[in-house]
Amino acid sequence: MHGERFYGDQRPLALDDPLAFHLEELSSLGYTVINDILPESELEDWRGRIDAVYELQEQESGGRDALIAIGDQDLCRVPLLYDQAFLSMARHEKVLAIVKRILGDWFILNLQNAIINRPNERHQQGAWHRDLPYQSWVASRPLAVGALFAIDPFSEMTGSTLMLPHSHRRETIPSEAYISAHAITVTAQPGSVLMFDAMVFHRAGYNRSGQIRRGVNHLYTVPILKQQYDFPRAFGDLFREDADLRRLLGYTSTVPIDALQWRIERQNRKAAQ
Protein backbone atom coordinates (compact mmCIF):
# COMPACT_ATOMS: atom_id res chain seq x y z
CA MET A 1 0.00 0.00 0.00
CA HIS A 2 1.22 3.48 -0.83
CA GLY A 3 1.41 6.10 1.88
CA GLU A 4 2.00 3.77 4.82
CA ARG A 5 4.03 5.28 7.68
CA PHE A 6 6.71 3.54 9.75
CA TYR A 7 8.81 4.41 12.78
CA GLY A 8 11.74 2.91 14.63
CA ASP A 9 13.93 3.14 11.52
CA GLN A 10 11.83 0.47 9.79
CA ARG A 11 11.33 0.24 6.05
CA PRO A 12 9.14 -2.27 4.20
CA LEU A 13 10.73 -4.98 2.10
CA ALA A 14 11.27 -3.83 -1.48
CA LEU A 15 9.58 -6.02 -4.10
CA ASP A 16 12.09 -6.01 -6.92
CA ASP A 17 10.35 -8.33 -9.42
CA PRO A 18 6.87 -9.75 -10.18
CA LEU A 19 7.52 -12.98 -8.27
CA ALA A 20 8.76 -11.35 -5.07
CA PHE A 21 5.31 -10.82 -3.52
CA HIS A 22 4.37 -14.49 -4.06
CA LEU A 23 7.66 -15.60 -2.53
CA GLU A 24 7.02 -13.33 0.46
CA GLU A 25 3.51 -14.75 0.96
CA LEU A 26 4.71 -18.32 0.60
CA SER A 27 7.50 -17.77 3.11
CA SER A 28 5.27 -16.11 5.70
CA LEU A 29 1.79 -17.61 5.25
CA GLY A 30 2.97 -20.88 3.75
CA TYR A 31 0.98 -20.43 0.51
CA THR A 32 0.20 -18.02 -2.32
CA VAL A 33 -2.15 -17.90 -5.33
CA ILE A 34 -0.87 -16.93 -8.78
CA ASN A 35 -3.53 -15.99 -11.32
CA ASP A 36 -3.74 -16.59 -15.07
CA ILE A 37 -1.31 -19.50 -15.32
CA LEU A 38 -3.45 -21.59 -17.68
CA PRO A 39 -5.50 -19.85 -20.40
CA GLU A 40 -9.25 -20.21 -20.11
CA SER A 41 -9.37 -21.70 -23.61
CA GLU A 42 -7.46 -24.79 -22.39
CA LEU A 43 -9.46 -25.57 -19.26
CA GLU A 44 -12.21 -27.65 -20.83
CA ASP A 45 -9.57 -29.80 -22.51
CA TRP A 46 -7.81 -30.34 -19.16
CA ARG A 47 -11.11 -31.37 -17.56
CA GLY A 48 -11.65 -33.96 -20.26
CA ARG A 49 -8.10 -35.29 -19.93
CA ILE A 50 -8.38 -35.66 -16.15
CA ASP A 51 -11.71 -37.48 -16.40
CA ALA A 52 -10.45 -39.77 -19.18
CA VAL A 53 -7.31 -40.81 -17.28
CA TYR A 54 -9.24 -41.38 -14.06
CA GLU A 55 -11.85 -43.50 -15.86
CA LEU A 56 -9.03 -45.65 -17.26
CA GLN A 57 -7.50 -45.98 -13.78
CA GLU A 58 -10.82 -47.10 -12.33
CA GLN A 59 -11.10 -49.77 -15.03
CA GLU A 60 -7.56 -51.07 -14.61
CA SER A 61 -7.96 -51.18 -10.81
CA GLY A 62 -11.12 -53.29 -10.87
CA GLY A 63 -13.76 -50.56 -10.82
CA ARG A 64 -14.82 -47.75 -8.53
CA ASP A 65 -15.73 -50.06 -5.64
CA ALA A 66 -12.20 -51.45 -5.65
CA LEU A 67 -10.79 -47.95 -5.23
CA ILE A 68 -13.33 -47.10 -2.53
CA ALA A 69 -12.22 -50.22 -0.65
CA ILE A 70 -8.68 -48.81 -0.34
CA GLY A 71 -9.76 -45.18 0.12
CA ASP A 72 -8.29 -44.07 -3.20
CA GLN A 73 -11.37 -43.07 -5.20
CA ASP A 74 -11.43 -39.77 -7.11
CA LEU A 75 -7.66 -39.43 -6.99
CA CYS A 76 -6.23 -39.51 -10.51
CA ARG A 77 -2.70 -40.63 -9.83
CA VAL A 78 0.29 -39.59 -11.96
CA PRO A 79 -1.69 -38.59 -15.08
CA LEU A 80 1.50 -37.68 -16.95
CA LEU A 81 2.27 -41.40 -17.27
CA TYR A 82 -1.05 -41.88 -19.08
CA ASP A 83 -1.16 -38.62 -21.05
CA GLN A 84 2.09 -36.79 -21.72
CA ALA A 85 0.20 -33.51 -22.17
CA PHE A 86 0.36 -33.28 -18.37
CA LEU A 87 4.14 -32.85 -18.63
CA SER A 88 3.55 -29.30 -19.86
CA MET A 89 1.74 -28.52 -16.63
CA ALA A 90 4.47 -30.09 -14.51
CA ARG A 91 7.15 -27.96 -16.15
CA HIS A 92 5.22 -24.68 -16.42
CA GLU A 93 7.79 -21.90 -16.72
CA LYS A 94 6.36 -19.50 -14.13
CA VAL A 95 5.77 -22.26 -11.57
CA LEU A 96 9.29 -23.66 -11.98
CA ALA A 97 10.74 -20.14 -11.66
CA ILE A 98 9.22 -19.86 -8.17
CA VAL A 99 10.24 -23.39 -7.21
CA LYS A 100 13.80 -22.59 -8.28
CA ARG A 101 13.87 -19.47 -6.12
CA ILE A 102 12.82 -21.57 -3.13
CA LEU A 103 14.61 -24.91 -3.59
CA GLY A 104 17.61 -23.85 -5.69
CA ASP A 105 18.76 -25.02 -9.09
CA TRP A 106 18.42 -28.75 -8.47
CA PHE A 107 14.98 -30.09 -7.66
CA ILE A 108 12.83 -32.95 -8.95
CA LEU A 109 9.18 -33.72 -9.52
CA ASN A 110 8.15 -36.01 -6.70
CA LEU A 111 4.54 -36.57 -7.75
CA GLN A 112 1.66 -35.36 -9.89
CA ASN A 113 -1.91 -36.22 -8.89
CA ALA A 114 -5.26 -34.83 -10.01
CA ILE A 115 -7.93 -34.42 -7.33
CA ILE A 116 -11.57 -34.88 -8.34
CA ASN A 117 -13.83 -33.37 -5.67
CA ARG A 118 -17.40 -34.44 -6.44
CA PRO A 119 -20.48 -32.69 -5.03
CA ASN A 120 -21.70 -33.92 -1.66
CA GLU A 121 -19.02 -36.62 -1.32
CA ARG A 122 -16.23 -36.83 1.22
CA HIS A 123 -12.76 -36.95 -0.34
CA GLN A 124 -9.80 -38.69 1.24
CA GLN A 125 -7.90 -35.42 0.88
CA GLY A 126 -10.47 -33.91 3.26
CA ALA A 127 -8.33 -34.85 6.29
CA TRP A 128 -5.72 -32.39 7.56
CA HIS A 129 -2.28 -33.36 6.34
CA ARG A 130 1.07 -32.20 5.03
CA ASP A 131 2.28 -33.15 1.58
CA LEU A 132 5.25 -34.68 3.37
CA PRO A 133 2.98 -36.78 5.62
CA TYR A 134 3.96 -38.33 8.97
CA GLN A 135 6.76 -35.76 9.43
CA SER A 136 6.66 -33.89 12.77
CA TRP A 137 9.57 -31.51 12.35
CA VAL A 138 10.43 -28.24 10.65
CA ALA A 139 13.46 -27.20 8.63
CA SER A 140 15.20 -23.84 8.37
CA ARG A 141 14.58 -23.87 4.61
CA PRO A 142 11.82 -25.56 2.59
CA LEU A 143 12.51 -29.04 1.25
CA ALA A 144 9.40 -29.32 -0.91
CA VAL A 145 6.92 -27.02 -2.64
CA GLY A 146 3.43 -27.86 -3.89
CA ALA A 147 1.73 -26.41 -6.97
CA LEU A 148 -2.01 -27.09 -7.18
CA PHE A 149 -3.53 -25.99 -10.50
CA ALA A 150 -7.17 -24.93 -10.26
CA ILE A 151 -9.01 -26.42 -13.24
CA ASP A 152 -12.47 -25.55 -11.88
CA PRO A 153 -13.48 -22.74 -9.50
CA PHE A 154 -11.93 -23.01 -6.05
CA SER A 155 -14.41 -21.52 -3.59
CA GLU A 156 -15.99 -22.34 -0.24
CA MET A 157 -19.04 -23.68 -2.10
CA THR A 158 -17.01 -26.03 -4.32
CA GLY A 159 -14.90 -27.32 -1.43
CA SER A 160 -11.73 -25.38 -2.05
CA THR A 161 -8.52 -26.16 -0.19
CA LEU A 162 -8.30 -25.00 3.41
CA MET A 163 -4.90 -23.81 4.61
CA LEU A 164 -3.62 -23.27 8.13
CA PRO A 165 -1.43 -20.18 7.74
CA HIS A 166 2.08 -20.27 9.24
CA SER A 167 1.73 -23.95 10.20
CA HIS A 168 4.79 -24.87 8.11
CA ARG A 169 6.77 -23.37 10.99
CA ARG A 170 5.23 -25.68 13.61
CA GLU A 171 6.42 -29.21 14.29
CA THR A 172 2.97 -30.61 14.99
CA ILE A 173 -0.58 -29.64 14.11
CA PRO A 174 -2.21 -27.33 16.68
CA SER A 175 -5.45 -27.83 18.60
CA GLU A 176 -8.84 -28.21 16.96
CA ALA A 177 -9.85 -24.90 18.57
CA TYR A 178 -6.89 -23.17 16.93
CA ILE A 179 -7.68 -24.77 13.57
CA SER A 180 -11.31 -23.68 13.80
CA ALA A 181 -10.26 -20.11 14.56
CA HIS A 182 -7.49 -19.71 12.00
CA ALA A 183 -8.01 -22.05 9.02
CA ILE A 184 -8.51 -20.18 5.74
CA THR A 185 -10.48 -21.30 2.68
CA VAL A 186 -8.35 -20.36 -0.32
CA THR A 187 -10.31 -19.04 -3.28
CA ALA A 188 -8.86 -19.27 -6.78
CA GLN A 189 -10.18 -18.82 -10.30
CA PRO A 190 -9.83 -21.62 -12.87
CA GLY A 191 -6.44 -21.38 -14.52
CA SER A 192 -4.66 -20.13 -11.41
CA VAL A 193 -2.24 -22.08 -9.24
CA LEU A 194 -2.03 -22.42 -5.47
CA MET A 195 1.60 -22.80 -4.43
CA PHE A 196 2.52 -23.80 -0.91
CA ASP A 197 5.24 -25.06 1.38
CA ALA A 198 4.70 -28.82 1.57
CA MET A 199 4.86 -28.65 5.38
CA VAL A 200 1.85 -26.34 5.74
CA PHE A 201 -1.21 -28.18 7.06
CA HIS A 202 -4.11 -28.22 4.61
CA ARG A 203 -7.11 -30.23 3.48
CA ALA A 204 -9.79 -30.32 0.80
CA GLY A 205 -13.13 -28.75 1.67
CA TYR A 206 -16.59 -30.26 1.26
CA ASN A 207 -18.10 -29.61 -2.15
CA ARG A 208 -21.65 -28.27 -1.63
CA SER A 209 -22.03 -27.03 -5.22
CA GLY A 210 -23.58 -28.88 -8.13
CA GLN A 211 -20.31 -29.21 -10.06
CA ILE A 212 -17.09 -31.20 -9.86
CA ARG A 213 -14.00 -29.36 -8.64
CA ARG A 214 -10.79 -30.59 -10.27
CA GLY A 215 -7.24 -29.67 -9.41
CA VAL A 216 -3.86 -31.03 -10.45
CA ASN A 217 -1.28 -31.10 -7.67
CA HIS A 218 2.49 -31.27 -8.11
CA LEU A 219 5.11 -31.76 -5.44
CA TYR A 220 8.63 -30.55 -6.18
CA THR A 221 11.35 -31.65 -3.78
CA VAL A 222 15.08 -31.51 -3.24
CA PRO A 223 16.64 -34.69 -4.67
CA ILE A 224 17.37 -36.23 -1.26
CA LEU A 225 13.64 -37.06 -0.95
CA LYS A 226 12.42 -40.25 -2.61
CA GLN A 227 9.96 -39.79 -5.47
CA GLN A 228 6.45 -41.19 -5.03
CA TYR A 229 6.64 -42.47 -8.62
CA ASP A 230 9.71 -43.84 -10.40
CA PHE A 231 9.56 -41.66 -13.51
CA PRO A 232 12.98 -42.72 -14.91
CA ARG A 233 11.99 -46.39 -14.87
CA ALA A 234 8.52 -45.65 -16.20
CA PHE A 235 9.64 -43.50 -19.14
CA GLY A 236 12.97 -45.16 -19.90
CA ASP A 237 14.85 -43.36 -22.69
CA LEU A 238 11.87 -41.40 -24.02
CA PHE A 239 13.43 -38.03 -23.24
CA ARG A 240 17.07 -38.72 -24.03
CA GLU A 241 17.55 -35.34 -25.76
CA ASP A 242 15.76 -33.16 -23.18
CA ALA A 243 18.27 -32.59 -20.38
CA ASP A 244 16.05 -30.20 -18.39
CA LEU A 245 13.10 -32.58 -18.40
CA ARG A 246 15.28 -35.56 -17.48
CA ARG A 247 16.58 -33.63 -14.49
CA LEU A 248 13.08 -32.58 -13.42
CA LEU A 249 11.86 -36.18 -13.65
CA GLY A 250 14.75 -37.43 -11.52
CA TYR A 251 16.97 -39.14 -14.07
CA THR A 252 20.04 -37.48 -12.54
CA SER A 253 18.99 -38.39 -9.00
CA THR A 254 18.59 -42.16 -9.24
CA VAL A 255 20.45 -44.37 -6.77
CA PRO A 256 23.43 -46.19 -8.37
CA ILE A 257 23.62 -49.93 -7.82
CA ASP A 258 27.34 -49.98 -6.95
CA ALA A 259 30.57 -47.93 -6.94
CA LEU A 260 31.25 -48.46 -10.65
CA GLN A 261 27.78 -47.24 -11.61
CA TRP A 262 28.24 -44.18 -9.36
CA ARG A 263 31.47 -43.30 -11.16
CA ILE A 264 30.01 -43.89 -14.62
CA GLU A 265 27.11 -41.54 -13.84
CA ARG A 266 29.51 -38.93 -12.49
CA GLN A 267 31.63 -39.21 -15.64
CA ASN A 268 28.50 -38.74 -17.77
CA ARG A 269 27.48 -35.65 -15.83
CA LYS A 270 30.99 -34.15 -16.16
CA ALA A 271 30.99 -34.82 -19.89
CA ALA A 272 27.63 -33.08 -20.30
CA GLN A 273 28.80 -29.86 -18.61
pLDDT per residue as tens digits for the range 190-219: 999 999 999 999 999 999 999 999 999 999
Mean pLDDT of the chain: 93
Rounded-to-integer distance, Cα 198 and Cα 131, Å? 5
User: Is 12 inside any structural domain?
Assistant: no
Structural contact between residues 145 and 111, judged by C-beta atoms closer than 8 angstroms:
no
User: Is 245 inside any structural domain?
Assistant: no
Domain that holds residue 105: 20-229
- Which CATH number covers residue 204? 2.60.120.620
The model's pTM is: 0.92
Q: How many structural domains is the chain composed of?
A: 1
pLDDT class of 259 with cuts at 50, 70, 90:
confident
pLDDT class of 268 with cuts at 50, 70, 90:
confident
User: Is 2 inside any structural domain?
Assistant: no
pLDDT digits (tens, 9 = 90+) for 105-141: 999 999 999 999 999 988 888 899 999 998 889 999 9
User: Is 123 inside any structural domain?
Assistant: yes
User: Is 246 inside any structural domain?
Assistant: no
